[in-house]
Amino acid sequence: MSFIAILSIFVLACFVGYYVVWSVTPALHTPLMAVTNAISSVIIVGGLIAAAAAEVPGAKWLGLLAIVLASVNIFGGFAVTARMLAMYRKKDRAPDAGGRS
Amino acid sequence: MSPAPPVPLQAFMVAAVWNGTVPDPALPLHAAGDASSPWVGLAYLVAGALFILALRGLSHPSTSVRGNRFGMAGMLIAVVTTVVTHDLASLPEILAAIGIGGAIGWIIARRIAMTDMPQLVAAFHSLVGMAAVLVGWAAYLNPAAFGILRSVGDAFTHPVIGAELTLWREEINPVSRIELGLGVAIGAITFSGSVIAFLKLAGRMSGAPILLPGRHVINLGTLAAILVLVALFAAAQPGATLPLIIAITVLAFLIGFLLIIPIGGADMPVVVSMLNSYSGWAAAAMGFTLGNTAMIITGALVGASGAILSYIMCRAMNRRFLSVIAGGFGADAAVAGSSGGEARPFRQGSAEDAAYMLEQAERVIIIPGYGMAVAQAQHALREMADLLKKKGVDVRYAIHPVAGRMPGHMNVLLAEANVPYDEVFELEDINSEFAQTNIAFVIGANDVVNPAAKTDKSSPIYGMPVFDVDKAEQVFFIKRSMSGAGYAGVDNEVFYMPQTTMLLADAKKMVDDIVKALS
């Protein structure tokens, strides 16, 4: 891809990011940080490319190490986000809300 | 006389001598391997779009769980696409690496206490930063695999046959070198900065700012040096690049450390958001190097997200971003705190007093702060609110944007304690209602209810939007003791108002006692 094409995607994605993030409710700002953490670990793609190319051992090991670090983040980030989001619930949705009072 | 051999062949042979190896004609194909099939590019684009949907889902709690699944799907697509379009020989090692990292991440995510979320996020940021550094270095060491080589022809005249020939050699193309250098630099800054933020948030390092003499000069000088080195790295001959990228990496690690140590604990929400942003830009820089749309889109999203959160945090503290980054806030806490002089009279109450008044009230607004999180009082607090609701009291929660140590931290803690999210309100949505409120119940918060922010121009928190608790009929203020000032180190007039009752105890113990008195 040409540099300009890549730059175009980047600039447009910045605008998308701007509007999407402003629409995130402040109550979910912590999950937002956790999930952005997880998705920024898409940098694992670079690690996978380096690890798959065996002809330069140094680069391969750096790639494998990058995969380990990024995987901690991917699994940890999505799992902790899921754990947090599961806690948010609405009023009167709890099973015992109606009957007891 | 036979015609001279075609020039390219000659050049090809010279190049072979020059490089010491015979260039593989298939090499450019290998490099273009990812881009050769439009399906691959499409898959990365789909992954990027799924990441956008993941963030979009967070606009409401009801859609957020699905959004998170979109994110996971996007990541799966990106990883699988990369693996299947590359050499599969290393697959066992790759799977092992994913397994090790994944298991560690999964276990941490299961076990972490919600109060410790800020330091977890800081630690995760450091990993993204380090991964970016490693990927940058891997790309530097094996540029062919990343498809960032270009052939450079140096024209020369053959000494024997006298023909104009071109000497071909391969080097990392300069634009990629700029992207690579910046990616490594941003990654390294993210790493060391996040490590310091983690240590400060986890309490393993003092939250007090560490102020080096002439730090602004040192910091700006180091940043400028990094930029100059990146430019030199892009322009250098292939043989001269190694010392430059080493210098970039080392200086960037150093500047990340230097940038965060002068920033006090009170500004950590801004720092965590800022590092969130950096981790995104690091991913984006690597995305440029690889020409990978998933990485570029994600980097831009995360970069924007962190930047917006930093902005929201700064606005909520009425601080300028640059003054936060310059650091030093909270350093003169002792001076500001002692301005009150001798002890002033205040009214102290017991849990029974509070319980009695609370059940008489019609409307109660609870203002939780970081002290609630430290005391782990959120569950007891929800119990108290439940008992009050049964007695017909209208209970709501008011959360300041900078309550806690990271954006939205209080909301998560209340959600953990099963507080429904529609009872939790933001500053601007609830602040006008204190005048119609019987009791403002402040637990573990301080600066966010300090009227000095509205009246005292000399106060370090002047201009910060605060809750108008002084407009409520009565204020109950849970605080461990009268001695400690707030995080910003300023005295609070609310303590001494006639309508205020101070409940001096550990937040959890006090709320437990109120619960006992209510039931």
Interchain contact A97–B (C-beta under 8 A): no
Q: State the residue for tokens 């790493």.
A: B191
Q: Among this protein's residues, is B353 annotated catalytic?
A: no
Is residue A64 within 8 angstroms of chain B, CB to CB?
Answer: yes
Structure tokens of A97? 């809300």
**Looking at the complex, does the CB of residue B457 fall below 8 Å from at least one CB of chain A?**
no
Report ipTM (2 d.p.).
Answer: 0.91
Is A49–B61 a contact, with Cβ atoms under 8 angstroms apart? Answer: no
The answer, for B182 touching chain A at a CB cutoff of 8 Å, is no
B155 burial type by CB count under 10 A (0-12 exposed, 13-18 middle, 19+ buried): exposed
From CA A67, how far away is CA B419, in angstroms rounded?
38
Contacts of A63 in chain B (CB under 8 A): 134-135, 138
Q: Which of B60, B104, B296, B391 to mutate to test the interface with A (most CBs of A within 10 A)?
A: B296
Residues of chain A in contact with residue B276, where contact means CB-CB under 8 angstroms, are 33, 36-37
Q: What is the pLDDT of residue B6?
A: 45
Residue of B24, B154, B429, B447 marked catalytic? B447
Minimal Cα–Cα distance from B261 to chain A, Å?
22
pTM score of the predicted model = 0.86
What residues does B153 pair with on adjacent strands? B168
- Residue B503 is classified by DSSP as E
Interface of B with A in 70-109 (CB under 8 A): 71-72, 74-75, 78-79, 82-83, 86-90, 93-94, 97-106, 108-109
Query: Which residues from chain B sit within 8 angstroms of residue A25, using beta carbons?
Result: 58-61
Q: What is the pLDDT of residue B186?
A: 96
Q: Which residues of A touch B401 (CB under 8 A)?
A: 26
Backbone angles phi, psi at B424, to 5 degrees: -105, 130
Q: Do B142 and A55 touch (CB under 8 A)?
A: yes
What are the pLDDT tens digits along chain B (519 aa)?
444 444 444 444 444 344 444 444 444 444 434 446 788 999 999 999 999 999 999 999 999 999 999 999 999 999 999 999 988 888 999 999 999 999 999 999 999 999 899 999 999 999 999 999 999 999 999 999 998 888 888 888 888 888 888 888 888 989 999 999 999 999 999 999 999 999 998 888 887 888 888 888 999 999 999 999 999 999 988 788 999 999 999 999 999 999 999 888 778 888 899 999 999 999 999 999 888 999 999 999 999 999 999 999 898 888 888 888 777 665 444 344 444 455 678 888 899 999 999 999 999 999 998 889 888 899 999 999 999 999 999 999 999 988 888 889 999 999 999 999 999 999 989 999 999 999 999 998 888 898 888 888 888 788 889 999 999 999 999 988 876 655 556 778 888 899 999 999 899 999 999 999 998
Q: Which residue of B has its CA nearest to A88?
A: B415
What pLDDT score does B424 carry?
A: 93
Please tell me the distance in Å from A58's CA to the nearest CA on chain B.
7
Say which DSSP state B348 is in.
Answer: B
- Distance between A99 CA and the closest CA of chain B, angstroms: 12
3-state secondary structure of B16: helix
Task: Indicate yes or no: CB of B138 within 8 angstroms of CB of A63.
Answer: yes
Q: Which DSSP symbol is given to B495?
A: G
User: CA of A63 to nearest chain B CA: how many angstroms apart?
Assistant: 6
- Cα–Cα distance between A12 and B206 in angstroms, integer? 41
Write out chain A residues lying below 8 Å of B106, CB-based.
75-76, 79
A60 contacts B109? CB cut-off 8 A: no
DSSP string, B188-253: HHHHHHHHHHHHHHTTSS-SS----TTHHHHHHHHHHHHHHHHHHHHHS-GGGHHHHHHHHHHHHH
- Partner residue opposite B299 with nearest CB, options A40, A54, A58: A40
Task: Give the B window 238-297 contacts with A, CB below 8 Å.
Answer: 272-273, 276, 279-280, 282-284, 286-297
Q: How many helices and strands (H and E) does chain A possess?
A: 4, 0
C-beta atoms of B124 and A76 within 8 A: yes
Query: Which among A43, A49, A60 has the least Cβ separation from residue B283?
Result: A43
d(CA B74, CA B84): 16
Residue B86: list chain A partners with CB under 8 A.
48-49, 52-53
Burial of B317 (0-12, 13-18, 19+ CB in 10 A): buried
pLDDT of residue B405: 82
Contact A68 B284 (CB under 8 A): no
Rg (CA), chain B: 29
Distance CA B83, CA B212 (A): 47
